[in-house]
Each structure stands twice: as C-alpha cells, then as structure tokens.
Structure 1
Amino acid sequence: MPSIYVKPRLRDAKKPDQGVLLVRRESNGKPITEKGAHVELTPYIRRRLRDGDLVKANAPAKPSRAKAAAKSTASAADAGEQEA
C-alpha cells in the first residue's frame, strides 16, 4: 500500500498558537505529531484528508551523508581547538 506524508491541520488558521488537531494513527492509536508523519494511504487516512483533519505535506529533507560527515568532522575539530 502506498504511503504519504501528512500533517494535522491547525485548530484555527487565524490563531496558530492554539496548536493542531489531535489525529490518531489507525494502527496504534498514537497521535500524529505537528511535524507530520509518513502513513499508509488507507481508507481512514483518505477520510481524514477529505474531512480536512489532515493535510498532505512535503517530507522534511534528510541531510546528505557528505554534509553530515563534514559537519561532524568540523564539530570534532572545534572541540579539539577549545580543549587546547
């Protein structure tokens, strides 16, 4: 079954500080976080999308391995300089 990335919608678009709706996963009952989640496209998820409780979103970009390695190397070098 295909999967998609979804986020719960805001409770009130005019008052974003009120947070998002509490939409639970069908499989285990745990809520989908504000950041979103990959979920299987089941009839339950389709209903939540149709009703407006969930919205399709772009998954956050994963940092590339080269950038992550360079970042960890740079932070290790900075830590070495601070100790000296």
Structure 2
Amino acid sequence: MPSIYVKPRLRDAKKPDQGVLLVRRESNGKPIPAEGADVEHTPYIRRRLRDGDLVRATAPAKTVRAKAAVKPDTTHKETSQ
C-alpha cells in the first residue's frame, strides 16, 4: 500500500503553543509525532485527513552527511641507518 507524509493539526490555530492533536497510528497505537511521519494510506488515515485531525505535509529533505574520507597516513618517516 502506498505511503504518505502527514502531520497532526494544531489544537487551536490561534494558539499554536498549545501543541498538536494526539493522533495514533493504526498499526501499533503509537502517536504520530508533531514533526510528521510517513504512514500507509489506509481508510483510517483517509478518515483522519477528511476529519481534519491530520494534514498532508511535505517530507523534510533528508540531509546527507558526507563522510570524511579516511586517507591513509602516507607521511611516515623512513630512517636510514
């Protein structure tokens, strides 16, 4: 089943400091975080979207950290005897 990115809506649009609604996942009952999550596009999620408990959102761009290339130490000193 396809997945979509959703966020819970604010409790009160005029008072954003009150937080977001607590909307639970259908599969395991854990709440969907305020920053959003990928969920399967099931009838349960469609109902939450239709009722306004969830809103579609754009998934944040995943930042890819470039791993520093590990260079071998080639500056070793050779001692001549």
Q: How does 1:1-84 map to 2 (within 5 A)?
A: 1-64=1-64, 68-69=65-66, 73=68
Report the identity percentage. Answer: 82
| Higher relative helix content | 1
Alignment length (residue pairs): 68
Alpha-carbon RMSD: 0.9
Per the normalisation by structure 2, the TM-score is 0.81
Please give the TM-score of this superposition, normalised by the length of structure 1: 0.78
Provide runs of 4+ in structure 1 moved above 6 Å: none
Gaps of 5+ in 1: 74-84
Inter-partner Cα distance in structure 1 for 2:56 and 2:11:
16
Deviations 1:32-56, CA, capped at 9 Å, x for gaps = 0000000000000000000000000
* Aligned partner of residue 6 in structure 2, secondary structure: strand
